[in-house]
Chain A
């Protein structure tokens, strides 16, 4: 094995693995501190997420959201941008999807309505991200601060629209009227039923296929197109990118546009897939969860799908865990997210000195 190979192996696999394991171990310590046996808790969690049909359905349904926001954060990371605004972009993207679903002629076929709804989510999510992108590229404002501010702006905008504009007449709670049938993305259990197989009802719907398709598209875009190369080059070395003729301002805007569009797809799964109406806080936590997913998945679509699955398991298993054990609430997942971001993100170099020292003698013997 050459030195470069081994370094890649350490950086790409061993370090992230150590980091994730550390995050889990620290979470286990939290379990012990609140008087819960971490092994028993893990068993309940895994059974809750994967032990029965309904649980698996929920796990995959949560994972779908995490794939969208994880991809969103990852694309931005590749250009060296930190998009904290996934939360807001998912929210406003959902507005785009809902507007299509609510105002389109309900007689139009679902084959047209659903793609238009996806387009609505992509467009609105992208628009909400392009403004911070533009401000970073041409006005020098820091993308992190602007996207945080835009999360709050999105939240206020949605509350205003749902309370004053889109609320169903005669309805007390702030939510829109139901989407027409043509705007419902089919549930997986309905599809199975139509083929003669009976599986348990769950919110899992065909959005998961859309998520997988977009994972492939992101992979192709980043590693097999000119724009993808330009984005990665800018992220690796902005100066070198400029010398090779890449316009960094354009890269920022294009990257944010794609990142926001991907986050904007959360509404497809949540609104067209499950809720079938626009409501408050359907995006809650997925934008920030996407940061953990992208960091854990090393910003690669395959890694992101795996990390999203893991977070889907944690979300669904966490619900069951909270139900079974009175000392735990589902917020243990939030704690775990925090540790994953801390150890895979902030402390990503924690073990580097240790591993380098450990491997030095082997290297010297060659």
Chain B
């Protein structure tokens, strides 16, 4: 036992948790300060009067009261983005190409998990399930989603990317986009043939829809309940666990060392006796596992999935990966959290700050203008190091 404990690298377990905490708190504080300052400025204008008329509070109070909820929402979606972004970033780190099929791998994970739960539901197992069993089923669904997505990611790499490894960088990229479309339509076809449904609904069971209430805040005429739903907690906790596990795998194990070696220099790594193909497959497997789990968690949080469900989360996770510095794992984590937070803040406050002229429908503008700004002013991303082009 002692021997075993000695071999665990505790630093690598604590470090990512610390990072996540720093990033979460940091981005929450930054965004909150911006929102509050904006609110204070706008309070003096006609917009403040408008809020006063509608909600009977000042814009500043409105902003402050809604703040905790917005931060929680932002964190939840931020961790989902981070888990998907890691899949992009790991593949980029090793192969230097963007695996655009990753969004469909995420979707496949979601579908396998949800279909499994729907099957359980129609067998009548879910409705009477006790709380521990409900969690066991959810865990099982997540594992199945991970396995399917991981297996698919490895297969896609073997079939669509490995034969193109010597080709110019554009070729596997196009292949990835092709695979992405193919998988979308395969999901559509399979669902169409087997269930005849386009939308699949995450079944209701366990206490996931319940809400832990922190308290009520009076705001003008109405009261706002503050709280966090059980499923948001599940999403955040599972994502944190996975990210810690991934960080440990990459930074504190022999396999991780091999992955880093292949990322640094593929041919030299193979000279050192590392089986490069196997490590690349492993990278895809790990990315796929994370993507699949993120898929099931996404379905849990947002209830409804369809064959194109992967597109937007995938695109945003890709943005998150670029924002943080593609190829850099800490960067993907930071990028995901910042992007989720930014998007939720924009969506929640824009409508009020612009008197409904530009509501939450425009929240994606922020996500993608960030992508453009980063590409212009800091192409290597927030945490990435500028590296010369590899031959």
| A, B from the same assembly | no
Partner-B contacts on A (CB < 8 A):
none
The interface of chain B, by Cβ under 8 A from chain A, is none
